[in-house]
């Protein structure tokens, strides 16, 4: 018989769901979930499609949610792919296609896992939910955050959440993400006085003025991290100044920078320290902040224990807990869920040409999701 995880993965890959498009992926999921007793709600916002689906068992218990995204990044140059990125193709034991690893296989594995639980009568305790968006690879302003806002307005809480991001590194199950650093950017404009470069006494060079402050920002130790996170990092990404002429002192310099910060620091504390440094150096400046995500952390507990035990049972390996990498939609879900982790297939090919997933990983990935749910909903 055909592998149901592979069949659903292939159907999802065929959808050209380049962010923020869903291209019918969530309709496929609704068709699979509705017969299982899920109440499916489509939440549209700003051209983004979101799905909130919940199935309550016969007896009260915790709500365990799977979170994921149906959107994918653009393909890049089509002539560099060895097969059409939206035609799932098997080669050398791998399934190729855009979204294969990030993260349509995870979605398919979870849906089939739930189907097996329901068929076996193991979904009668507690509740199972899915939160699916088509705005994870894009700005992430109309996706998961909008669904979480709606759930907050309803007073809805989630007990456990698995985000199906591809977290495995060398082999399936070797890493679980139990937190992520926050991300905060700043655009700093240092004002000077434009003038002729031969008459510097009649001008104020903002590049020269900025350099001592920027050097101090580079050298500052913002925190020492903690047992879960590395130290907070401050990095400049862009520096713009000048008119393009070699004989003009510019009137302003613009610096873009970013903090990747841990739970050892706060937004307010980092902002205050930056502004104190700039002020101490006597700069005439404007600083505008933007926060794309706060850090979140799930200490070892019921969720990581259940997931780790299922990984060990189906792979024979031990999972490492890690907070490395960029941001994820877990940062939004952590507002209403005390235990959020990320787990999925190997991530070596994500966002790349010839993205793929190992076919050998499909069955154990499904089994890990299934048995984790079983452990969470029926801990006895």
Strands of 320-322's sheet in order across: 39-45, 48-56, 125-133, 59-69, 160-163, 340-342, 175-177, 320-322
Cα–Cα distance measured from residue 122 to residue 55, given in angstroms and rounded to the nearest whole number: 13
Q: What is the DSSP letter of 103?
A: I
Contact status, residue 340 vs residue 161, Cβ threshold 8 Å: yes
Q: Is 136 a catalytic residue?
A: yes
- Counting every residue written for the chain, the total comes to 380
Query: Residue 4: CB partners within 8 Å, gap ≥ 6?
Result: 112, 115
Q: What is the DSSP letter of 336?
A: T
Cβ atoms 330, 323 nearer than 8 A: no
Strands 340-342 and 160-163: parallel
Distance CA 58, CA 38 (A): 13
242 in the Ramachandran plot: left (φ > 0), alpha (ψ -120 to 50) or beta? left
Q: Would residue 71 show up in a list of annotated catalytic residues for this protein?
A: yes
Active-site pick, 10, 102, 116, 136: 136
Is the CA virtual torsion 90, 92, 95, 96 positive or negative?
Answer: negative
Q: What is the CA radius of gyration of the chain?
A: 24
Q: How far apart are CA 160 and CA 333, in angstroms?
A: 10
In order of 40, 71, 285, 317, the CA distances from 54 in angstroms are 7, 21, 50, 32
Cα torsion angle, 369, 373, 374, 379, sign? positive
351 Ramachandran zone, left/alpha/beta (phi>0; psi -120 to 50): left
Torsions phi, psi for 178 (to 5 deg): -110, 20
Which of the residues 71, 115, 142, 165 is marked catalytic? 71
Phi, psi of 313 (to 5 degrees): -65, -35
Place of tokens 């990095």: 235
Active site residues: 71, 136
């Amino acid at each position: 018989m055909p592998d149901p995880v592979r069949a659903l993965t292939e159907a999802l890959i065929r959808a050209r769901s380049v962010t923020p498009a869903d291209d019918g992926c969530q309709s496929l999921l609704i068709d699979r979930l509705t017969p299982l007793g899920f109440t499916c709600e489509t939440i549209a916002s700003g051209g983004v499609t979101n799905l909130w689906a919940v199935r309550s068992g016969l007896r009260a218990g915790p709500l365990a949610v799977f979170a994921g995204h149906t959107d994918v990044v653009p393909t890049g140059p089509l002539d560099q792919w060895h097969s059409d990125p939206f035609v799932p193709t098997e080669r050398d034991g791998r399934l190729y296609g855009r979204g294969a690893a990030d993260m349509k296989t995870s979605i398919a594995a979870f849906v089939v896992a739930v189907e097996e639980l329901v068929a076996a009568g193991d979904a009668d305790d507690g509740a199972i939910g899915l939160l699916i968006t088509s705005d994870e690879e894009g700005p992430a302003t109309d996706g998961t955050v909008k669904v979480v806002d709606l759930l907050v307005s309803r007073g809805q809480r989630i007990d456990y959440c698995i985000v199906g991001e591809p977290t495995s590194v060398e082999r399936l199950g070797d890493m679980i993400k139990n937190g992520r650093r926050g991300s905060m950017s700043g655009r700093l404009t240092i004002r000077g006085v434009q003038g002729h470069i031969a008459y510097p006494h009649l001008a104020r060079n903002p590049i020269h003025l900025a350099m001592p402050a920027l050097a101090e920002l580079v050298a500052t130790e913002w925190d020492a991290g903690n047992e879960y996170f590395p130290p907070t990092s401050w990095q400049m990404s862009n520096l713009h100044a000048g008119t393009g002429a070699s004989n003009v002192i510019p009137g302003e310099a613009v610096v873009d920078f970013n903090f990747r910060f841990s739970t050892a620091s706060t937004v307010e504390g980092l902002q205050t320290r930056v502004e104190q440094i700039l002020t101490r150096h006597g700069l005439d400046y404007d600083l505008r902040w933007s926060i794309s995500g706060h850090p979140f952390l799930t200490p070892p507990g019921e969720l990581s224990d259940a997931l780790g035990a299922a990984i060990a049972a189906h792979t024979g390996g031990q999972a490492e807990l890690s907070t490395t990498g960029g941001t994820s939609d877990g940062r939004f879900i952590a507002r209403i869920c005390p235990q959020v982790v990320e787990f999925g297939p190997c991530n070596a090919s994500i966002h790349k040409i010839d993205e793929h997933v190992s076919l050998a990983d499909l069955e154990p990935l499904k089994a890990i999701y299934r048995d984790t749910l079983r452990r969470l909903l029926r801990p006895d």
